[in-house]
Amino acid sequence: MKRAFVVSNDFLPNESELRRLLSQAGLEMVRPEDTSDYYLVIACKKLDYFKLEANV
């Protein structure tokens, strides 16, 4: 079994930069969490709310 190791010297974008990157990929941020213990981002595909309303 391989031993786990700590990732160091990594780069994580700040929230506004990540929102921009996600938007370019057609995603929107649902839940960002950046704590001293972990970094978690949940994103989903952007919905076109105008198209959704037109179908109602």
Q: Is residue 2 part of a domain?
A: no
Q: Is residue 1 part of a domain?
A: no
Q: Is residue 24 part of a domain?
A: yes
Q: Is residue 38 part of a domain?
A: yes
Q: What's the domain count of the chain?
A: 1
Dmax (CA) for the chain in angstroms is: 54
What is the tens place of the pLDDT at every residue in 2-56? 777 676 777 788 889 999 999 999 999 999 888 888 888 999 998 776 666 666 5
Q: Is residue 49 part of a domain?
A: yes
pLDDT at 56: 58
State the residue range of the domain holding 23: 15-54
pLDDT at 39: 84
User: How far, in Å, CA of 44 to CA of 36, rounded?
Assistant: 24
pTM comes to: 0.62
The span from the first CA to the last CA of the chain, in angstroms, equals 54
Q: Is residue 43 part of a domain?
A: yes
